[in-house]
Amino acid sequence: MDNKKDLLIEIGTEDIPARLLLSMSNEFGELICKQLNAAELSYSNHEIYCTPRRLAIVVSDLDIKQKNQVIERKGPKALAAFDKEGNPTQAAKGFARSCGIDAKQLEVDDDPDNPRLTFSEERIGQSTKELLPNIIEETVKKISVPKRMRWNQSGAEFIRPIRWLLVLLGSETVASTLFGIKASNVTQGHRFHAAKEIVVKHPSAYKELLNIKGHVLADFKERQDNILQQVKTLASQVNGTPSYTQELLDEITGLVEWPCAMLGEFDAQFLEVHKELLISTMQDNQKYIPLLNKDGELLSQFIIVSNINSKDPATVKHGNERVIVPRFEDAMFFWQRDKNVKLEYNLEKLGSVVYEKHLGTLKDKTERNIKLVAYLANYTNADKNNCEHAAKLSKCDLVSETVSEFPKLQGIIGRNIAFLNNENEDICTAIEEQYLPKQSGSKLPTTPVGITLALADRLDTLVGIFAIGKIPTGLKDPYGLRRAALAVLRIIIETPLNIDLSECLEKAATFFPDKLNADKAVGDVHEYINERYRAYFSDRDIPVDVIDSVLANHPTHPSDVAAKIDALMSFRKLPNAESLAAANKRIRNILKKIDRDNIGEVDINLFKENAESTLHSALESLSDDVESLFKDNQYEQALSKLADLRQPIDNFFDGVMVMDKDEKLKANRIALLSRIDSLFMHVADFSRLQS
């Protein structure tokens, strides 16, 4: 009998929200596999499938039952298990009861030093068919969804009602029930093209069967590739380039089971509206793909991805073209009104918009930003006057009708109105760039004024929210402080800027009302930002021990942190690195026991061993050069020079007793080690590096 079979689980639902489909399907697959692993059921590989109406997984070569296991339990010590007459004590009887046997059946193990009672039994492995119902139910319960719904009297809860369940192990249907729905070997085809039941005879036939008989492309990536190919073909017909984000593409893929793309067109008069408004309407509201010409200007054609291969595509095309007109008309109406209002006139309106009740209005925040950019301009080489004016205008578009209708376009609308107001180009660009980066890994501000404004706005937010005690907890971060802190690090490190973050935070705190005592929050804000280093550098595959060793010095210059981490990564590749790191760890362990404030200068007249003199000479010969390199932030070159100390340090520890009975000798040797430690600590605490 074959002890391996393929498994298919498919959960059929009403349409799952498209933006959640990919993450839900990945989590569904991970949870199923995690539980199979926990049950010690091995398999060769798995494939995840998903469409708006289904979550599915095919697991190949899965064990059809668990292996039998010998379970051994240890009980009380043998001496305490029997009395002088050899009768079992209460301890032995209690252990026997817990094992479900009589005390006379217990054995004593063969440990000569500490013999104990022992009990062994063979536990017969359960069949996979027996385990699957619970695995499926637990998976559905654990899938992360923002809001669950109920749809019948069973009290069942999921993101959408579950309509069918398919569970096959090999060619056999596994008897199981999910929320009152019994499993079968039947799936459902496309709602319109193949609205019928389809019998699946084996898991390996699932994907192809849905494709051929069901008009369903079950593989998310294949479906997305199919969409992209159709989009590129259609775009080439009008010499256009499709404009989309991965997020939009994933959402479109999550909306369809059988994608059919077609070209749509709108009245060219709408091109008078700024393209960002039209693009936002097409992408966010309608899930269409806009097309751009070779100069990056918007074309009047766009691409629709339908879920139906219609016999009358002209009707589908016309319907999509018609539905976009009122949205474009709204965009044109709001833009026509806003573009005729000078941006600066909106400043007073900001005084009636509460930013946060303890921190004042958007106008109050703007005024703080104006002061902070003037200070930060010294670090960013930006024109101070331009920075102040950009800060003054930065939030004015938030009270425009266009941004009220299209909130994602904050900054972009402000930039466009500023251009119409004949503002300086640097100021116009900065109004948009203040919001960059918008998410992890996305583009940063590039102009000096934009960089300055982006930093000021986030530093003000961080200090202000911490000052009123609304620090993020767990997953709750309503003010986006994690994102703000990461943005600060990215801007400073990747620009790069030579900024003392601690000083900037202290300056930001001075612009808040005295009653907030914002200066007391600075330390916590700085620590909070420092915690984000781990996420930032981990995304660049930097080992945690390297990050922690640099952060141990409580750095205040983010660009300096990056340089030290790069230097440390290069240092670890040197032949002497591991030995030097071990020696530094030994030095740190010795110095931990010493009051560092009382360590004196090295006295060469107290050297008794050649190893002391040799190490001191080696240290003297390179210390000036190394200190100079450190001063110039040339950390990699400095560490490369310090690597020459490996042999003298090894010889020192081999031939010298640091903790000598003679207090003068001991103090002198500690002073020598302290000098070495101080040099290395310019970069990091090497004792934290893992070998």
Beta pairing class for 4-13 and 241-242: unpaired
- Cis omega before residue 52 (within 30°)? no
Q: SS3 of 303, please?
A: strand
Question: What is the pLDDT, as a whole number, of residue 680?
Answer: 87
pLDDT of 441 higher than 90: no
Tokens of 552: 């141990």
Question: What is the pLDDT, as a whole number, of residue 92?
Answer: 79
Q: How far apart are the first and last CA of the chain?
A: 49
263-297: per-residue pLDDT in tens?
A: 999 999 999 888 999 999 999 999 999 999 999 99
Question: What is the pLDDT, as a whole number, of residue 691?
Answer: 64
Beta pairing class for 162-169 and 181-184: parallel
pLDDT: which is higher, 43 or 575:
43
- Asked if residue 50 lies in contact with residue 29, where contact means CB atoms within 8 angstroms, the answer is no
Which domains does the chain show, CATH number per domain? 4-66+127-214 (3.30.70), 70-123 (no CATH), 220-338 (no CATH), 355-541 (1.10.3210), 562-688 (1.10.730.10)
Alpha helices in 287-361 (DSSP H): 313-338
456-490: per-residue pLDDT in tens?
A: 999 999 999 999 999 988 778 889 999 999 999 99
295-316: per-residue pLDDT in tens?
A: 999 999 999 999 999 999 999 9
402-420: per-residue pLDDT in tens?
A: 999 999 999 999 999 999 9
Alpha helices in 552-684 (DSSP H): 558-571, 577-591, 610-631, 635-642, 646-655, 663-680
What pTM was computed for the model?
Answer: 0.77
Q: For the chain, give the percent of residues with pLDDT over 70.
A: 100
Confidence of residue 202 (pLDDT cuts 50, 70, 90): very high
pLDDT of 591 higher than 80: yes
Crossing angle of helices 384-393 and 448-467, rounded to 10°:
60
Helix (H) or strand (E) holding 98: helix 90-99
Confidence of residue 587 (pLDDT cuts 50, 70, 90): confident
pLDDT of 77 higher than 90: no
Question: What is the pLDDT, as a whole number, of residue 551?
Answer: 92
Tokens of 362: 């958007």
Question: What is the pLDDT, as a whole number, of residue 154?
Answer: 73
Beta-carbon count within 10 A of 336 CB? 13
pLDDT of 579 higher than 90: no
Q: Which residues pair with 178 in a beta bridge?
A: 181
Q: Which of 121, 135, 123, 120 is nearest to 41 (CA)?
A: 135
Q: In the predicted model, what is the mean pLDDT of residues 69-82?
A: 76
Residue type, 599: I
Instruction: Determine the Cα–Cα distance for residues 85 and 663; give it in Å rounded to an integer.
Output: 64
- Asked if residue 434 lies in contact with residue 457, where contact means CB atoms within 8 angstroms, the answer is yes
Q: Which residues pair with 8 in a beta bridge?
A: 58, 168
| pLDDT averaged over every residue in the chain | 91
Region of poorest pLDDT, from 79-83, 199-203, 431-435, 462-466 = 79-83
pLDDT of 596 higher than 80: no
Beta-carbon count within 10 A of 644 CB? 14
Question: What is the pLDDT, as a whole number, of residue 263?
Answer: 97
Question: What is the pLDDT, as a whole number, of residue 227?
Answer: 98
- Asked if residue 47 lies in contact with residue 8, where contact means CB atoms within 8 angstroms, the answer is no
pLDDT of 1 higher than 70: no
Region of poorest pLDDT, from 206-210, 334-338, 489-493 = 334-338
Confidence of residue 585 (pLDDT cuts 50, 70, 90): confident
